[in-house]
Amino acid sequence: MNELPSTHQEADDAVAAGTAATNRRAQLLSTEHWSLLATRSMSWNEAFSRTGMFLSTVSAATVALALAGPAMSFGSAFPLFALVVLSVTLFLGLATYVRLLQVNNEDLYWVAGMNLIRNAYTRLSPGIEDDFVTGHSLDPDAMARTFGAVDVTSTISPWHMLVTTPAVVAVISSAIAGVMAGLVAGQLSMSPEVAVAVGIGVFLVAVVCLVGYGRREASRYIARVMESRGIGTHPSRRSGG
């Protein structure tokens, strides 16, 4: 008879220990969740800052060319001055574009981590997934739901990428490259019509190359991340933020 209270006490102690362990696990997961949110916020702040710096530089370059043109009477020195100014602006645009792609890829990684944490929450508290508006796994629908897709079963329009921040930077950078190509063609004594055609051609080629580069980098990044997680199929990728 003396063993019964002891047995009850051991059971109570085991339940208490299990509850404490569950609470500690929930606290640790919550801390990691907030850490990922903070990291994601810092990445996007950097992206917005770099994009703003690039657009400010484009504006400054445009003003500089507008002031230098009349001062130089649009003589032979002006195209050289314009090429120097635009080359620096183009470099900044390309660097910004590449960094924005990296931020997009990193953002996918942080979101995947938060989905995994929510998946752990569902195991700690079965049924809680019904209260989530975001995903809690790494499958395509769950990732799209976390990114805010309204209809996760629909295919994102191919035009969507034209309104993303990286795409805007890519188009502006391509336009700068086209203007530079037109200036070079003019310096080579080509007719204005030919110089304009060369500029348009370079602009279109640059857009295609930059968009293709972005898509390839995204696919490679996703493949590496999914391979590191031991997953054969990767989640769908949004085109950018």
235 inside domain: no
Tokens of 125: 């508290």
219 inside domain: yes
pLDDT confidence of 184, banded at 50, 70, 90? very high
What's the pLDDT at 52?
95
2 inside domain: no
183 inside domain: yes
Q: Give per-residue pLDDT as tens, 42-52.
A: 988 999 999 99
- From residue 62, how far is each of 4, 77, 94, 166 by CA, in Å? 87, 17, 18, 21
238 inside domain: no
User: Residue 178 in contact with residue 200, Cβ under 8 Å?
Assistant: yes
Least confidently predicted of 30-34, 86-90, 134-138: 134-138
Tokens of 47: 């992206």
What range does the domain containing 75 cover?
16-228
pLDDT confidence of 174, banded at 50, 70, 90? very high
pTM for this predicted structure: 0.79
Contacts of 120 (CB under 8 A, 6+ apart): 25, 29
31 inside domain: yes
Mean pLDDT over 191-200 rounds to 94
- From residue 71, how far is each of 33, 81, 182 by CA, in Å? 57, 12, 21
| CA 209 distance to own-chain centroid | 18
Contacts of 135 (CB under 8 A, 6+ apart): 115, 118, 141, 142, 143, 144, 145, 146
241 inside domain: no
What's the pLDDT at 157?
60
Q: Tell me how many domains the chain contains.
A: 1
